[in-house]
C-alpha cells in the first residue's frame, strides 16, 4: 500500500514547438507500487526516492531544462502491469493549452486573482468581456449643417448640387459647421430634425449606433437573491467599472442598465461543487436609458371642452381645418414660439434608477459583495 519508486522515462519525453504557439512538453513517469490494489489516485501524485510526480500548475523543470511559460495542466495515469503505472504529464501555457488529449479550447486550469493557475474553482479570477452592440433608433436630434439645392433638369447623379449653409426662416435652427460631442460621445449641438416648416418627419429617419455590453462571470459556492432586485435598474450616479479588462470604463448617470443575471449549477471541478454566476450590463453613451420625447401634437390647451378632447383645442389652419401633421409644442400645451425656442423635449424615466449600482461594477470585489449581500 505504498509507492516503491518513481522514475522519468526518456521514452515519451517530448515537446511541441509550433509557429505562433507556445511550446508544450510531455513527460512520462514510471511508478511502481507494492500492492496491485493501489489505484490512480495514489500514483497520480506519487513520490519516492527524491522523485515525484509534479503538481497541477507547477512550471516545467525536468532534467537540465526549465520553462516558466509552461505549467502542468494535465496528468494521465495508465496501468501497464499489476504494480506498474505510466503517468503522462502534459505541460502547456498558463491557463490551459492545446496539449495532447485535451479537447480544443478546454480550460484545464483557471487563473486566480494573481493570474496564476489554480485548480480551486472559487479562487478563479472573474471572466470579463467588453463588446459593442449595433442598434437602431429614431433620429430626432442632429446638428443642422445646411441644405443642397439640385439644379433644374439635373441628369448627372454625381452632381453635388449647390450647398447653402443657411438656416430656416426665421433663422432657427442655427447652422453648425459640424457635429460636436462631449467626452461620452453625445452630440452637444443637436436640434430637432424637422422639415423647413418645423414639422417632424413621420415616420422619423433612423440612425445606427453602438451600445457597449459588459459581462462578467465567476464561480461561487452560493449567491444572494437580492441581486435580482437590480435587474433592469439604471445608474443614477456616474459609475466606474473596475477589473482586469474593463478597468477605466465609466458610465455617465442614467446610461448604464443592468440587463440581468444568470445562475447555473451545480458544477463540479476537481471535486469542488460550485455555481456559475454571470452579470450583464449595457451602456448607451449617446442617448442613455431615459426617454426624451419631442413635444409635438395636433392640439393645444383650452379652457373649454372641444369635440373629442377634454380641455384641448384642435389646431386648425387658416381655413379652420384640422391640421394633418403635428406641430412643435412648447411643453406647456401651446404652439412653440420659434423666436425664443428651437424645441422642447419631455423627459420620462421608465426604469428604476438607483444610486448604488457601482457596488456590482467593481469586479475585483464582486464575489465578496455577492456573498455579503446587497
User: Pairing state of beta strands 249-251 and 239-241?
Assistant: antiparallel
pLDDT (tens digit, 9 = 90+) per residue, 30-41? 999 998 888 888
Each residue's pLDDT expressed in tens, for the chain with a length of 374 residues: 788 999 998 888 888 876 556 788 999 999 999 988 888 888 888 888 888 999 887 888 888 888 877 888 889 999 998 899 999 999 988 755 443 333 333 344 577 777 777 777 777 878 889 998 888 888 878 888 888 777 766 666 666 777 777 767 666 677 888 888 887 677 888 888 888 877 778 788 888 888 999 999 888 887 778 888 889 999 999 999 998 889 889 999 999 999 988 888 778 777 778 888 899 999 998 889 998 888 888 888 875 444 555 577 888 877 888 888 888 888 888 888 877 777 888 899 999 999 999 999 999 888 888 877 76
Cα–Cα distance list, 81 to 13, 31, 39 (Å): 21, 11, 12
Q: Is 99 exposed, middle or buried (0-12, 13-18, 19+ CB in 10 A)?
A: buried
C-alpha pair distances (Å), 302 with each of 165, 309, 310:
39, 10, 8
Q: Which residue has the cell 387658416?
A: 318
Whole-prediction pTM value? 0.63
Q: How far is CA 71 from the centre of its chain?
A: 31
Length of the chain in terms of residues written: 374
The residue to which cell 478546454 is assigned: 106
**Cα-based angle 94, 99, 104 (whole degrees, multiple of 5):** 95
Tens digits of residue pLDDT in 32-71: 999 888 888 888 888 888 889 998 878 888 888 888 778 8
* Spans of all domains in the chain: 3-111, 127-135+208-290+351-372, 292-348
Calculate Rg over the CA atoms of the chain.
Answer: 34
pLDDT of the residue at 235:
96
What per-residue confidence (pLDDT) applies to 103?
37
Amino acid at each position: 500500500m505504498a509507492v516503491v519508486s518513481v522514475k522519468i522515462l526518456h521514452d515519451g519525453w517530448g515537446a511541441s514547438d509550433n509557429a505562433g504557439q507556445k511550446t508544450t512538453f510531455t513527460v512520462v513517469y514510471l511508478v511502481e507500487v507494492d500492492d496491485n490494489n493501489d489505484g490512480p489516485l495514489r500514483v497520480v501524485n506519487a513520490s519516492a526516492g527524491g522523485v515525484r510526480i509534479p503538481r497541477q500548475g507547477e512550471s516545467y523543470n525536468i532534467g537540465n531544462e526549465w520553462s516558466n511559460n509552461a505549467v502542468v495542466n494535465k496528468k494521465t495515469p495508465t496501468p501497464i502491469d499489476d504494480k506498474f503505472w505510466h503517468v503522462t504529464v502534459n505541460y502547456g501555457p498558463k491557463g490551459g493549452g492545446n496539449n495532447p488529449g485535451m479537447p480544443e479550447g478546454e480550460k484545464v486550469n483557471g487563473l486566480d486573482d494573481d493570474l496564476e493557475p489554480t485548480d480551486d474553482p472559487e479562487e478563479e479570477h472573474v471572466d470579463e468581456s467588453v463588446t459593442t452592440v449595433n442598434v437602431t433608433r429614431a433620429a430626432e436630434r442632429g446638428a443642422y449643417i445646411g441644405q443642397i439645392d439640385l439644379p433644374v433638369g439635373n441628369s448627372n447623379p454625381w452632381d453635388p448640387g449647390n450647398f447653402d449653409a443657411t438656416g430656416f426662416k426665421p433663422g432657427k435652427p442655427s447652422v453648425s459647421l459640424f457635429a460636436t460631442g462631449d467626452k461620452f460621445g453625445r452630440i452637444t449641438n443637436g436640434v430637432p430634425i424637422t422639415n423647413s416648416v418645423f414639422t417632424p418627419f413621420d415616420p422619423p429617419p433612423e440612425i445606427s449606433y453602438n451600445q457597449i455590453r459588459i459581462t462578467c462571470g465567476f464561480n461561487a459556492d452560493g449567491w444572494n437573491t437580492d441581486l435580482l432586485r437590480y435587474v433592469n435598474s439604471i445608474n443614477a450616479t456616474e459609475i466606474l467599472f473596475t477589473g482586469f479588462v474593463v478597468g477605466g470604463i465609466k458610465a455617465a448617470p442614467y446610461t448604464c442598465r443592468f440587463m440581468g443575471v444568470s445562475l447555473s449549477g451545480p458544477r463540479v471541478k476537481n471535486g469542488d461543487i460550485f455555481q456559475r454566476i454571470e452579470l450583464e450590463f449595457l451602456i448607451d453613451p449617446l442617448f442613455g436609458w431615459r426617454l426624451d420625447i419631442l413635444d409635438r401634437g395636433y392640439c393645444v390647451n383650452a379652457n373649454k371642452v372641444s369635440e373629442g378632447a377634454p380641455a384641448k383645442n384642435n389646431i386648425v389652419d387658416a381655413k379652420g381645418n384640422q391640421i394633418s401633421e403635428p406641430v412643435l409644442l412648447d411643453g406647456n400645451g401651446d404652439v412653440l414660439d420659434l423666436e425664443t425656442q428651437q424645441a422642447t423635449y419631455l423627459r420620462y424615466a421608465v426604469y428604476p434608477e438607483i444610486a448604488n449600482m457601482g457596488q456590482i461594477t467593481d469586479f475585483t470585489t464582486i464575489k465578496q459583495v455577492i456573498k455579503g449581500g446587497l
